[in-house]
Amino acid sequence: MTERPDQSPLTSPRSERVRKAAALTGRSARRKQGRFRVEGPQAVRSLLTHRADLALEVFLTVRARADHPELASLAAEAGAPLREVDEQILRAMVRDSGDGGGDQGGADASPGAAVGGALVSPQGAIALATFSAEDPAAALGAVRALPADGPVTVVVLHEVRDPGNVGTMIRTADAAGADLVLLTRTSADPYSPKAVRASVGSLFHLPVLTGAEIDALLPALAAADVTAAATSGYADSDLFDTALPARLAWILGNEAHGLDEATLAAAPLTVRIPLAGHAESLNVHTAATVCLFETLRRRRLEA
């Protein structure tokens, strides 16, 4: 699916190559082209440092190249061709036609898309990279490939629909030392520009696999001696008072509806996050943060 990079200089913002890069805002174009866009010097550096195998091509303005000299050497080490381009070319590469292209969240498609309320620009640096297609078998394989002994933390995003949440939760999973992130089919695409930006490089720091099927995943986790855990406001056990298994998979659900009944019933461990004020619930990323950092805290106590 991936094409050999065109060697000719990029001089027009209306060129086919620029338009194809811009189209990667949409999921269907990413699937068709077999690649996604990585924006900003920090994310490009993470890609080249941690997943050089995925890098196809790097685009830098003269200024970004001068400001981040390590990017050129990392690109060379990765064997990814480096293109010096004008700022206007780079901006055109992130400017989608605006059809949303199948992404959740049309706000992603505007020029200098709004993220967290602020206008973002690629800050002079873009990379194009390959990704693994959705693959239920690969997700199961990653579970089987976990170390057979010792503590393990897995994060499963099941029907998490907002790409910003998906990216942020990958970042938080990384920060809390998770070993693996799995996304079920109905979750947002971690390769959407909004998710990639929100992950701030963490997408390249740990294995992230898409296309998992929850019905097959739960037995696979059990077979790997990993306890699937879910949060529920109705659970009897309080997170802070409950022993957490050394091998744990946090299953996190939809923003609006949480986990479906069947998945909740199938999870061997359900815990309640204590709420002290009048808030009726937490958002899914907040819940993930509480669970993952409590897991990290326990791991350190037990180490």
In the block, which residue shows the tokens 């019905």? 215
DSSP state at residue 94: T
Q: Which helix (H) or strand (E) holds 59?
A: strand 55-60
Which ranges of the chain does DSSP label H, i.e. alpha helix? Answer: 16-23, 27-33, 41-50, 62-67, 69-78, 87-93, 136-144, 163-175, 193-199, 214-223, 261-266, 284-302
175 scored as a contact of a copy of itself (CB under 8 A): yes
Q: Choose one: 32-40, 70-78, 126-134, 157-165; the region binding a copy of itself (CB under 8 A).
A: 157-165
Among 72, 206, 222, 264, binds a copy of itself (CB under 8 A): 206
User: Rule CB under 8 A: is residue 118 a binding residue for a copy of itself?
Assistant: yes
Please give the single-letter amino acid code of residue 3. E
Residue number with CB closer to a copy of itself (177 or 211): 177
The verdict on 106 binding a copy of itself (CB under 8 A) reads yes
Tokens of 190: 């971690």
* Sign, CA torsion 8/10/15/21: positive
Sign of the alpha-carbon dihedral angle for 175, 177, 180, 185: negative
Total residues contacting a copy of itself (rule CB under 8 A)? 56
Residue 281 lies near a copy of itself (rule: CB under 8 A): yes
Is 161 one of the binding residues for a copy of itself (CB under 8 A)? yes
Q: Applying CB under 8 A, does 177 fall inside the site for a copy of itself?
A: yes
- Share in percent of the chain as helix, strand, coil (round to 5): 40, 20, 40
**How many whole angstroms separate alpha carbon 49 and alpha carbon 46?**
5
Choose between 141 and 274: whose C-beta lies nearer to a copy of itself: 274
Contact flags string 17-56 toward a copy of itself, x per CB under 8 A: -----------------------------x---x------
Instruction: By CB under 8 A, name the one of 32, 63, 144, 297 that touches a copy of itself.
Output: 297
Nearest to a copy of itself of 8, 117 (CB atom): 117
- Name which position in 6, 134, 255, 260 contacts a copy of itself (CB under 8 A): 255
Q: Round to whole Å and give the CA distance between 163 and 103.
A: 8
When asked if residue 15 is in the footprint of a copy of itself (CB under 8 A), the reply is: no
Note the residue count of the chain: 303
Examine residue 275 and tell whether it contacts a copy of itself (CB under 8 A).
yes
**Shortest gap between Cβ of 10 and a copy of itself (angstroms)?**
29
Tokens of 192: 């959407």
Contact between 257 and a copy of itself by CB under 8 A: the answer reads no
Under the binding rule (CB under 8 A), the answer on residue 104 touching a copy of itself is yes
Q: Which of 279, 245, 169, 203 is nearest to 51 (CA)?
A: 203
- Interacting residues toward a copy of itself by CB under 8 A: 46, 50, 104-108, 114, 116-118, 161-165, 168, 171-178, 188, 194, 200-202, 205-206, 240, 255-256, 273-283, 285-286, 289-290, 293-294, 296-297, 299-300
